[in-house]
Every structure is written in C-alpha cells, then in structure tokens.
Amino acid sequence: MSSQGDHKPGSVGKGAAVGEHEKPEPVMADGLLVMPGTLRQWEEIKSFQARPDDTFIATYPKSGMVWSTQLMEIIQLQGDVQAYKVNKQKLSFLEISIPDDEPAVEKINNLPSPRVIYIHAPISHIPKSILENKCKVICVLRNPKDVAVSYYHFHTFSNMLPNPGTWSEFLQNFMIGKVTYGSWFDHVKGWWSLRKQPNIFFLFYEAMKKDLGYEAGRLASFLGRDLSPEAMKNLVEQLSFNSMKTNMDGKFPNIGSVTGFTFKQFIRKGQVGDWKNHFTVAQNEVMDQLIPDQLKGTSLDFCYEL
C-alpha cells in the first residue's frame, strides 16, 4: 500500500499535465454533476427515445466500458476479430458530445438500428424510454478502489474533465460522490436493483480479468450468439490488455485532438489491485468502512485482488 498517498497530478505517466489544457468545471443537472457540454443537451438526453432493439452499455466511468464494448461487438460478429473495426460513428455516448461534431443526441437519433449506446448516468438520470422499451442493458461494474484510482488518473490526462487536485483530495470527493457522474455507490446500487430483469446483464471487471473466455461465453448467451472454441480463443487473445494496448492505437479514432489523450494512455494499467499503489493505510480503512455501509443489503460483493 502507498505510504505517500498524495500523487501529484502532473507527475502521472506521460499524460498531459494538469494546467496544460483549459479544464472545464462540472455543473449540476437535476442534482447530478455533469460536464457543461452534457448540460447543454440535458433536455434532449432526458427525452431521448430509445428503440427496443438498442443495446446500452451502462458503466460508471473507468469500469471497463471500452473493453466490454469491444467484447460485445466482436461477439455480435460471431468472433470475427478481423472484421472488427472501431467505427467513429459507432462511438455513441449519449451524454458526451465531441466539440465540432454533431451533438450526441442528434447523431445517435440519425444512426440506423441496431444501435449500441453508452451511458454513464445512474438510473435516476437515464432517459425513461430505456427501461420502458426493455432495451438490452449491459452493466459493467468494477471495485470502487480501482475505479477511484483509474478515474483520478483519467482526470489528469483528459482535458474533458476538471483538475482532480491531489490524490487525497480526489479520493475524498469520490467517496462523497462529488465527481462527474456522481456517486459510484448510487450508480451500482441503482443498476443492481434491476438485476432480476431479463434484459439487464452484468459483467464484473475483475471476473473479466480472471477468465475473459468464461465471461465472453455468458455475454454471448445473453446476446443469443454461439461462438466456436476457435473464435472464442481469438477473441480472448485480441482483447487481452497487452494486445489492446499494442494494437488498438491505429484502429481507434483520433480522439486525442479533442480529449487530450491517446488510446495508449487510456488503456493505462488494466490491473485489479492498483489501488494498493495509491491508498494509504488510513485511506483504505475509511474506504473499508464506507463500502459495506453503503452496499448493505444489496448482495453486491467486489473483488479487490486476484
């Protein structure tokens, strides 16, 4: 466990140091902290009309959304990794409009079916039509200690998020939900409360790290696909951390000019337990009290090391 506990933002990796870009401040939308661009589209987001054949990937930030999206899309292609291409048009974040691009909602409205749409908001703030239309939702959950660390680093190198302050300051804000997209606890509790609905499916980041093939098989069943053992083997190889870090840069749309980071920075460490390099003993004790207290009665149980 870290004895220092106060990483300085500018010293993290090769990411752009905080201060090199103008960093936006989050704002409130119906009690949820969001980025100013999201607020500008807030009414359109709330009234967004999901189609029954839409699939949503619902994650709190830094829980493995890009990883699980690729998993899902390759499964939809029956495991044909060669056919898989990251398509900028397909990067359909309901809440995030890329500057100089069409507003997100408009862009998604114009996409042909079937669409894959990403959302970060908790269930209290998602468009009603998603649940009313019984859309498929794949929720990806990750333990809150590693999410906090990953989110902190992401703040340091993304110019779409505010200055995180020191690690201690960021962690404090994370624990009370004073970060963009609000409380991790509210997010996971909300989605987990819907777990008995047949259209809602859960992936856990740690389980994917432990046995991606097994989790891919579960997801394939949910999506009504049946992959050959060979296809499954290729898929697992393609989506390993090292393979994604090495191979994806060229395939990923040029997000760097807008967001300030490269795909290699984004695919940062990919570990279960990196929190041990950041949390002090005292910070860990606070978190170890908070987690069971917040998750009491939910049956949710997270894995913190493999």
Residues forming the site for ligand A3P (CB under 6 A): 59, 61-67, 146, 150, 153, 239, 241, 244, 267-270, 274
User: 281: exposed, middle or buried (C-beta count within 10 Å: 0-12, 13-18, 19+)?
Assistant: exposed
| H or E segment and range at residue 119 | strand 116-119
Catalytic residue among 120, 155, 187, 278: 120
User: 192: exposed, middle or buried (C-beta count within 10 Å: 0-12, 13-18, 19+)?
Assistant: middle
Q: How many whole angstroms separate alpha carbon 224 and alpha carbon 204?
A: 20
Listed residue (252, 26, 10) closest to 160, CA to CA: 26
For residue 141, the minimal CB distance to ligand A3P (Å) is: 11
**Amino acid code (one letter) for 67:** W
Backbone phi and psi for residue 4, each to the nearest 5 degrees, phi listed first: -90, -55
Nearer to ligand A3P, 125 or 268 (CB): 268
User: 53: exposed, middle or buried (C-beta count within 10 Å: 0-12, 13-18, 19+)?
Assistant: exposed
For residue 69, the minimal CB distance to ligand A3P (Å) is: 8
CA 47 and chain centroid, separation: 23
Listed residue (25, 26, 34) closest to 125, CA to CA: 34
For residue 297, the minimal CB distance to ligand A3P (Å) is: 26
Bond into 112 cis (ω within 30):
no
For residue 51, the minimal CB distance to ligand A3P (Å) is: 24
C-beta separation of 111 from 89 below 8 A: yes
Nearer to ligand A3P, 52 or 213 (CB): 213
Q: Which residue is nearest to ligand A3P (CB)?
A: 270
For residue 247, the minimal CB distance to ligand A3P (Å) is: 11
Nearer to ligand A3P, 244 or 300 (CB): 244
Known catalytic residue at 120: yes
Nearer to ligand A3P, 5 or 270 (CB): 270
For residue 140, the minimal CB distance to ligand A3P (Å) is: 7
Nearer to ligand A3P, 56 or 67 (CB): 67
Nearer to ligand A3P, 66 or 130 (CB): 66
Q: How many whole angstroms separate alpha carbon 2 and alpha carbon 73?
A: 38
Catalytic center residues: 120
